[in-house]
């Protein structure tokens, strides 16, 4: 793991998250199977998730849960017994959901079942075929070019048979039934940023949430991408539509190259507002991606008939960094600093959710702060600077702007203006205007 300069607390947290990624990295995951179960069992050692199984053949809206896939070994061997492709060296070498095979083929026949990237000759690509039965191998293009004419034994020791889809869920109760929904996926094999940074950040966010007071209830799910979110929605749609006020899909949060988010379908939800606000202070150069153009599970959570207020949070967004869906998305691509940054992004968004309120000033005209101990009792050329943010806050606390609005107007992050709002409230200078994200 790469290391960066961080605070002591974040450094320790980054080390813990890095260790969890290293533990999970070797596991061969897919949309079903024992790799998912093993991953969830390790996460369960950190937070008390509930693990659910949904049988193959179950209808989930327009989809159906496929047969369960498991794999023990796979390789391509030349006539001298040398393994030119070996699943045990990289689980990306096998096309996901490949059916069992054990036979000799010519090089020409083998080439029909190989996948490589000519423009990234050192990378093994990640390829799947979930819903059509086939077999195949993935190989670095430089190695593909070195294959000699002759016969090759291809072996894939896998099973594809009725089983179940597995997912994890953790609900952390709050003061209200209104929910913040956090979703992340656990269906890719050994790729560090695209696959593991989301579940690892979600795990440590859950650990932080369970040890702190909460206004909202938090629902965290660890699911296979697409078929998992559809499965979860099919079981909980009415509850989610009724109770979720803000949602975040967590993906690709472990590198230290960028910050970004992908909007909801119309880009006008409270989740969009929070993501834009927090990211503008975390990284003014963050990238905002539109909902269109493919995506992750926000496609399901924001689809017509569902329309949850949800966005996807990333550092370098999936599909927008060259290491994506290749063996180059490895443990060297993520960093402890990057993971800490991804964790802080999500935590700051949650802070904004928990503390966002609308206030209205009580005084007509500017209040006298000095008699309330809120202004220096000696006026100098520079004394007003210490309360400038407070005065700016008061100017816009008119009952129409919530803290996120005021944060944007006065260019101060929510985590800096919350203590100011609390002091003004305690001094009796502002009152809270009640409201709800659902209103």
Residues with Cβ within 8 Å of residue 26, at least 6 apart in sequence: 91, 190
User: What CA–CA distance (Å, rounded) separates 161 from 159?
Assistant: 6
pLDDT tens for each residue of 237-273: 999 999 999 999 999 999 999 999 999 999 999 999 9
Give me the DSSP letters along 126-143. Answer: P-B-SSS----EE--HHH
Q: pLDDT band at 321, cuts 50/70/90?
A: very high
**Strand-pair category, 179-185 with 59-60:** unpaired
pLDDT tens for each residue of 44-89: 999 999 999 999 999 999 999 999 999 999 999 999 999 999 999 9
User: What CA–CA distance (Å, rounded) separates 76 from 73?
Assistant: 11
| More confidently predicted of 115 and 379 | 115
Q: Lowest-confidence range among 153-157, 287-291, 372-376, 403-407?
A: 372-376
Say what percent of the chain tops pLDDT 90: 88
**Is the per-residue pLDDT at 173 higher than 90?**
yes
pLDDT tens for each residue of 137-150: 999 999 999 999 99
98 and 130 Cβ atoms separated by less than 8 Å: no
**Is the per-residue pLDDT at 204 higher than 70?**
yes
Give me the DSSP letters along 73-92. Answer: EEEEE-TTS-EEEETTT-GG
pLDDT tens for each residue of 90-99: 999 999 999 9
pLDDT tens for each residue of 339-376: 999 999 999 999 999 999 999 999 888 887 767 777 66
Q: pLDDT band at 20, cuts 50/70/90?
A: very high
The pLDDT score that the predictor gives to residue 108 is 98
The pLDDT score that the predictor gives to residue 23 is 98
User: What CA–CA distance (Å, rounded) separates 187 from 171?
Assistant: 21
**Is the per-residue pLDDT at 381 higher than 60?**
no
User: What CA–CA distance (Å, rounded) separates 305 from 137?
Assistant: 39
Q: pLDDT band at 384, cuts 50/70/90?
A: low
Backbone φ, ψ for residue 270 (5° rounding): -65, -30
Say what percent of the chain tops pLDDT 70: 94
Give me the DSSP letters along 309-332. Answer: SEEEEESSPTTSSTTTTBTTSSTT
Query: Domains of the chain, with CATH numbers?
Result: 8-66+164-354 (3.40.630.10), 68-161 (3.50.30.90), 357-433 (1.10.10.10)
Please name the residue that has the structure tokens 């996901």. Answer: 96
* H or E element, residue 219: strand 217-223
The whole-model pTM stands at 0.93
Structure tokens at 358: 């609308």
The pLDDT score that the predictor gives to residue 386 is 56
pLDDT tens for each residue of 280-303: 999 999 999 999 987 899 999 999
The pLDDT score that the predictor gives to residue 366 is 82
């Amino acid at each position: 793991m790469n290391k960066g300069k961080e605070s002591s607390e974040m450094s320790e947290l980054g080390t813990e998250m890095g260790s969890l990624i290293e533990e999970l990295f070797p596991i061969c995951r897919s949309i079903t199977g024992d790799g998912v179960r093993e991953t969830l069992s390790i996460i369960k050692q950190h937070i008390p998730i509930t693990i659910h199984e949904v049988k193959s053949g179950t209808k989930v809206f327009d989809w159906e849960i496929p047969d369960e896939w498991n794999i023990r070994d796979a390789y391509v061997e030349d006539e001298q017994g040398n393994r030119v492709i070996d699943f045990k060296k990289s689980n990306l070498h096998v096309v996901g959901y490949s059916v069992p095979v054990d036979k000799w083929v010519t090089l020409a026949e083998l080439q029909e079942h190989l996948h490589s990237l000519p423009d990234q000759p050192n990378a093994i690509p990640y390829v799947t075929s979930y819903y059509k039965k086939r077999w195949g191998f993935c190989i670095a293009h430089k190695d593909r070019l070195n294959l000699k004419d002759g016969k090759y034994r291809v072996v894939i020791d896998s099973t594809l048979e009725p089983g179940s889809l597995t997912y994890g869920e953790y609900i952390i109760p709050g003061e209200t039934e209104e929910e913040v929904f956090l979703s992340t996926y656990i269906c890719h094999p050994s790729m560090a940023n695209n696959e593991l940074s989301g579940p690892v950040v979600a795990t440590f966010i859950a650990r932080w949430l369970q040890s702190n007071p909460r206004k909202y209830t938090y629902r965290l799910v660890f699911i296979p991408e697409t078929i998992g979110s559809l499965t979860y929605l099919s079981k909980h749609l009415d509850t989610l539509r009724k109770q979720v006020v803000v949602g975040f899909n967590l993906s690709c949060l472990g590198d230290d190259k960028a910050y970004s988010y992908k909007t909801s379908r119309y880009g006008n939800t409270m989740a969009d507002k929070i993501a834009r606000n927090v990211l503008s202070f975390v990284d003014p150069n963050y990238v905002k991606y539109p909902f269109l153009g493919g995506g992750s599970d926000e496609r399901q959570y924001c689809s017509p008939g569902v329309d949850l207020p949800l966005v996807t949070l990333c550092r370098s967004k999936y599909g927008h960094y060259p290491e994506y869906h290749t063996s180059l998305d490895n443990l060297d691509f993520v960093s402890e600093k990057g993971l800490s940054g991804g964790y802080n992004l999500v935590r700051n968004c949650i802070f904004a959710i928990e503390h966002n309120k609308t206030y209205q000033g009580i005084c007509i005209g500017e209040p006298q702060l000095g008699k309330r101990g809120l202004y220096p009792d000696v006026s100098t050329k520079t004394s007003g600077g210490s309360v400038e943010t407070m005065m700016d806050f008061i100017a816009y606390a008119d009952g129409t702007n919530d803290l996120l609005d005021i944060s944007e107007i006065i260019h101060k992050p929510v985590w800096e203006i919350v203590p100011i709002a609390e002091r003004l409230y305690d001094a009796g200078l502002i009152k809270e205007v009640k409201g709800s994200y659902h209103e």
